[in-house]
């Protein structure tokens, strides 16, 4: 029978895992079987740089933590080797990095995950992995905001290059006057031709 000290340590680990599950926006479970040390080191570095917390966990302890965090839908995936990747801010980072790695290594497998406290299927995790990074999304949004401003700036510059607003307005009024004069000159000619046609 385990000692009191060991039980207390396990309870602390379960409490920490529960807190981690509850306070993250997304989490991905993987089977890390067959990963070598160099690849594991690189994978952990990539996850750390993306703000993702990654750790190997015991299935029995994570099983209890999932129960307490109301993520019991993850419990059937807790077999074999298990590592947990969680993120408190970025929804796609863990899925993007882990799915990319799983595509290259056949023994490394994504087992399950959750999103905003709801267990999701593998297809959802794969879809999440295809989203661009936060930086790319922000750049796209910024580009969308800048496009109308850039168009407006080009239009203003074109007016300035032509000599300003006053010259532009004068040119427009001159064109309108010429169009009216041409129209008035053509009207009597058409009227005089009308009786001749009869």
Query: Each residue of 15-50: pLDDT tens digit?
Result: 999 999 999 999 999 998 888 888 889 999 999 999
- Which residue has 């307490």 as its token pair? 68
Statement to judge: residues 107 and 163 lie in one domain: no
Determine the Cα–Cα distance for residues 177 and 24; give it in Å rounded to an integer.
Answer: 69
List, for residues 59-97, the tens digit of each pLDDT value.
Answer: 999 999 999 999 888 889 899 999 999 999 888 889 999
User: Has residue 154 been placed in a domain?
Assistant: yes
pLDDT tens profile 90-123: 888 899 999 998 888 888 899 999 998 899 988 8
pLDDT band at 176 (very low <50, low <70, confident <90, very high): low
pLDDT of residue 7: 86
**Do residues 124 and 148 share a domain?**
no
* pLDDT exceeds 80 at position 139: no
Please say if the pLDDT value at position 137 is more than 80. no
**Mean pLDDT, to the nearest integer, of 162-172?**
58
Q: Does residue 169 lie within any of the structural domains?
A: yes
Residue 150 lies in a domain: yes
In a domain, 95, yes or no: yes
Q: Which domain holds residue 114?
A: 4-131
Structural domains of the chain, count: 2
The reply to whether 125 and 31 lie within a common domain is yes
Distance separating alpha carbons of residues 90 and 83, to the nearest angstrom:
18
Do 96 and 29 reside in the same domain of the chain? Answer: yes
- Comparing CA positions, the residue from 26, 25, 27, 47 lying closest to residue 101 is 47
Does residue 120 sit within a domain?
Answer: yes
| Predicted structure pTM score | 0.63
């Amino acid at each position: 029978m385990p000692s009191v000290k060991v039980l207390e340590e396990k309870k602390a680990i379960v409490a920490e895992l529960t807190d981690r599950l509850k306070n993250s926006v997304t989490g991905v479970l993987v089977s890390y079987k067959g990963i070598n040390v160099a690849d594991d080191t690189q994978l952990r570095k990539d996850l750390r740089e993306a703000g993702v917390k990654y750790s190997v966990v015991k299935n029995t302890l994570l099983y209890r933590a999932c129960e307490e965090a109301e993520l019991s839908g993850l419990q059937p995936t807790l077999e074999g080797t298990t590592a947990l990747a969680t993120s408190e801010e970025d929804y796609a980072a863990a899925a993007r990095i882990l799915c990319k790695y799983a595509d290259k290594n056949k023994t490394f497998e994504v087992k399950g995950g959750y999103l905003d406290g709801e267990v999701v299927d593998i297809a959802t995790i794969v879809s999440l992995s295809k989203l661009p990074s936060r930086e790319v999304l922000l750049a796209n949004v910024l580009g969308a905001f800048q496009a109308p401003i850039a168009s407006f700036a080009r239009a203003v510059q074109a007016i300035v290059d032509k000599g300003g607003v006053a010259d532009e307005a004068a040119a427009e009024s001159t064109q309108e006057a010429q169009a009216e004069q041409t129209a008035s000159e053509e009207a009597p000619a058409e009227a005089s031709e009308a009786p001749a046609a009869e």
